Amino acid sequence: MIRTNADGTRFAGVAALFAGTAWVLWAVLNTMTHGGLDIGAAAVGERMSRTGALLMVGWNVLLIPAALVLYTGLVKSHPHRVRLATACGLVSLLFWAYGGATHGITPALEVSYLVLSAVWWCGIGITLWPSNKVFGGLTIVLGVFAFWDAVLTALEPVPFALYLTAAPKLPLSILWDFALGYFLIRGLPVRAARLTSTAI
C-alpha cells in the first residue's frame, strides 16, 4: 500500500492526471469514430480497438494509487466506511480494466462496476465533505450519477431521453480525475495525519 508521504502522494496525483487524460483521449477517439470504440474492432479496426482498450485500462489502473492514498489519509476518521468504500472502488477499477482489456464488458459487468463505483465515490465524498466541500461535493455528485447510471443500465431498454439524464456521469468522471490529481499534488508535502485537512 502506498504511504501518504510526499513522493507517494505526488505519484498518485500525477497518475490521476494521466487517468483523466486517458479518459479525454478515449472520449475524443470514440466521438471521431462515431461510437466505434464501444462496438469494437468490427467498427474501427484492430489497431484502433486496441488503442481504445489500452486507454480504458489506463484510466482505471492509474486511479489505483490515488485510491490507496485516499484510503490511507481517511481511514482513521471513519474506518468502516472508508474500508468498505475503498474495497468497492478497487474492485470497480479492476472490473472495468479487465472488461476493457478483454473486450468483455457485459451489461452485468457494467452495472456491477457502476454500483461499486457509486459506493466508493459516495463513501469517500461524504468523508471528505467536512474538510473540503468542493471536492467532497463533486465526489458525492459523481457517485449519485454513477448509481443512477447503474439503475438505468439495469433497466434497459429505457427511453433515450431518460438515459440522457445519466449523461453527466462521463464528464464528471473526467473532471473528478483532474480535480483529484490537482488536490493531491497541491497538498505536498503532507503527512498521513494531515491529508484530510490539507491535501484534499
- Would you give per-residue pLDDT tens digits along the chain (200 residues)? 334 477 788 899 999 999 999 989 988 988 888 777 777 676 677 788 788 889 999 999 999 999 999 999 899 989 999 999 999 999 999 988 988 788 777 888 889 999 999 999 999 999 999 988 999 999 999 999 999 999 999 998 889 899 899 999 999 999 999 999 999 998 643 333 344 434 44
DSSP letter for each residue of 30-47: HHHTTSHHHH-HHHH-HH
What's the pLDDT score for residue 192? 35
CB 73 within 8 A of CB 192: yes
pLDDT of residue 78: 92
Establish whether the linkage from the previous residue to 159 is cis, with ω within 30° of 0: no
The pLDDT value given to residue 144: 97
Please tell me what DSSP assigns to residue 8. Answer: H
Identity at 158, one-letter amino acid code: V
Residue 152 is predicted with a pLDDT of 94
Give the contacts of 72 (CB within 8 A, at least 6 positions apart): 1, 2, 3, 4, 192, 195
